[in-house]
Structure 1
Amino acid sequence: MSRYRPILTVWRTKPLFIVALLWILIIGGMLFLWNYDVGERPLVMVWNEDPLVYDPHRTSHPVSQSIFRHVCEPLFYKGFDGNIYGLLAEDTFEYSADGRTLVVPIRRGITFHDSTPLDAVAVQKSFERIQYYGVSPLANTLRAVRFQADTAHNAVIFRLPEANYEFVSLVLSSSYAVIVSPLTEDPTTFVDCTGPYQFVPEMYQVNQHLTLVRSFSYKWPPGYFDNREHAYIPQIQFRFEPQREERLTTLLEGQSCVLSLSQEHIDVVKQYPHFRLYDDYGGVTYLGFNFQKPRWQDLSTRQALVMAIDEYAVAQQGPFLIADTPLIPGAIGYTPSVGDHSYSFLPESSQTLLDQVGFDREATITLLIPESNTYQQLAEVIQQQLQAIGLNNITIRAVPRSNILSKRQDFDLLLFDYAWEDYTAFAAFLGPGPRNLLNYPHNSIATLTSQAVSTSDAASRQDLISEVQKTILEEAIWYPLVIREITTAVDSHCVQGEFVSPDRELLWHDAKTLSGP
Structure 2
Amino acid sequence: MKRMLLAAGLAALMAGTSGIALAQTAGGGVLTVATIGEPPSLDVMQTPTDIVLTITQHIFETLYIYDAEWQPQPLLAADMPEISEDGLTYRIPLREGVTFHDGSAFDSADVVASLNRWMEINSKGRQVAEVIETIEADGDNAVVVTLNSRYSPLLATFSQGSPILPSETLGGELTDFIGTGPYRLQERRPDQYTQLVRFEDYVSPEGEPSNYAGRREAIADEIRFVPVPDANTRVEGLIAGQYDYADSLPVSAYERVEAAGNVEPVIFENAGWTSLNMNMAEGPLTDKALRQAVQVALNPSDMMLAAFSDERFFAVDGALFPEGFFWHTQAGVERYGEGDPEAAAALMEEAGYDGTPIRILTSRQYGFHYSTGEVAKAYLEAAGFAVDLQVVDWATLTTRRADKGQWDIFITHSNFPGDPTTLNTITDTYPGWYTSEAKSQAVAAFMNAVTNEERFTAWEGIQSVIYEDAPLVKVGNFNALGGLASGVSGYEPAYWPRFWNVAPRG
Q: TM-score, normalised by structure 1?
A: 0.76
Equivalence for 1:107: 95
Counterpart in 2 of 1:132? 120
Query: Separation in 1 of the partners of 2:38 and 2:417?
Result: 23
SS of residue in 2 equivalent to 1:441: coil
Report the RMSD for the aligned CA atoms in angstroms.
3.7
Contact 2:109 2:140 in 1 (8 A): no
Q: Encode CA deviations 1:317-350: one digit per residue, 9 max, x unaligned.
A: 2122113111122222211354346465123443
Q: For residue 93 of structure 1, report the CA deviation from its aligned partner.
A: 3.0
Post-superposition CA distance 1:343-394 (Å, at most 9, x none): 6512344345445544454547251559423333333333444455442422
C-alpha change, 1:210 and 1:404, in structure 2 (3 Å) is farther
Letter aligned with residue 226 of structure 2: F
Give the AA of the match of 1:65.
L
1:263 to 235, 251, 258: 251
Shift of 1:497: 3.2
Superposed displacement of residue 315, structure 1:
0.9
Is the partner of 1:496 in helix, strand or coil? Answer: coil
Query: Quick one: distance in 1 between partners of 2:144 and 2:334?
Result: 42
Deviations 1:62-117 (A, max 9, x none): 33332322222111245679996532222363111222210113334444446664
Instruction: For 1:235 and 1:287, locate their aligned partners in 2 and report how far apart those are by CA, in whole Å.
Output: 39
> Which residue pairs with 1:211 in the alignment?
194
Is 1:498 the equivalent of 2:491? yes
Give distance in 2, aligned partners of 1:392 and 1:300: 17
CA 1:330–1:418 in structure 2 vs 1: closer, same or farther (change >3 Å)?
A: farther
Question: Residue 417 in 1 paired to residue 408 in 2?
Answer: no
Residue 13 of structure 2 is matched in structure 1 by none
Answering whether residue 82 of structure 2 is matched by residue 94 of structure 1, we say yes
Aligned length: 464
SS of corresponding position for 2:479: strand
Whether the 8 Å contact between 2:93 and 2:143 is mirrored in structure 1 is: yes
Greater relative CO, 1 or 2 (CA 8 Å, sep 6+): 2
Q: State the SS of the aligned residue for 1:130.
A: helix
TM-fit CA distance, 1:286: 1.3
Contact 1:220 1:229 (8 Å CA) reproduced: no
Deviation at 1:295, TM superposition (A): 2.8
- Percent identity over the alignment? 18
2:370 partner SS: helix
SS state of the match for residue 394, structure 1?
strand
Pick aligned residue for 1:399 from 380, 394, 411: 394
CA contact (8 A) 1:165 1:454 kept: yes
Gaps of 5+ in 1: 1-39
State the match for 1:455 in structure 2: 449
TM-score (norm: length of structure 2): 0.78
Aligned to 1:288: 277
Shift of 1:485: 1.7
What is the SS of the residue equivalent to 1:307? helix
Q: Which residue of 2 aligns with 1:484?
A: 478
Q: How much has 1:146 moved relative to structure 2? A: 2.9
Larger radius of gyration: 1
* Paired letter, 1:222: P
CA contact (8 A) 2:113 2:170 kept: no
1:51-450 residue pairs with structure 2 within 5 A?
52-77=40-65, 86-91=74-79, 93-113=81-101, 117-136=105-124, 140-141=127-128, 143-150=130-137, 152-164=139-151, 167-168=154-155, 170-172=156-158, 174-182=159-167, 183-184=169-170, 191-199=177-185, 202-205=188-191, 209-223=192-206, 224=208, 230-243=218-231, 245-259=232-246, 260-272=248-260, 274-276=262-264, 277-316=266-305, 317-318=307-308, 319-336=313-330, 338-340=332-334, 342=336, 345-359=339-353, 361-363=355-357, 365-367=359-361, 371-388=365-382, 389-400=384-395, 411-425=407-421, 429-432=425-428, 436-442=430-436, 444-450=438-444
Q: How far does residue 456 in structure 1 lie from its aligned partner after superposition?
A: 4.4
Identify the residue that residue 36 of structure 1 maps to in structure 2: none
Q: Secondary structure at the match of 1:336?
A: coil
Question: After superposition, what is the alpha-carbon deviation per residue over 1:473-516, rounded to whole angstroms, capped at 9, x for unaligned?
Answer: 121111110101234332124x223346xx7765432323236x
The residue number in structure 2 matching 1:43 is 31
Query: Partner of 1:99: helix, strand, or coil?
Result: coil
Inter-partner Cα distance in structure 1 for 2:344 and 2:286: 17
Q: Is the 8 A contact 1:145 1:159 kept in 2?
A: yes
Structure 2 residues not aligned, in runs of 5+: 1-27
Instruction: Give the Cα–Cα distance (whole angstroms) in 1 for the partners of residues 437 and 177 of structure 2.
Output: 36
Cα distance in structure 2, aligned partners of 1:380 and 1:81: 34
Classify 1:41/1:380 alpha carbon distance in 2 versus 1 (closer, same or farther; 3 Å): farther
Given that 1:195 and 1:218 are in contact with CA atoms closer than 8 Å, whether structure 2 keeps it comes out as no
Aligned pair in 2 of structure 1 residues 422, 100: CA closer, same or farther (>3 Å)? same
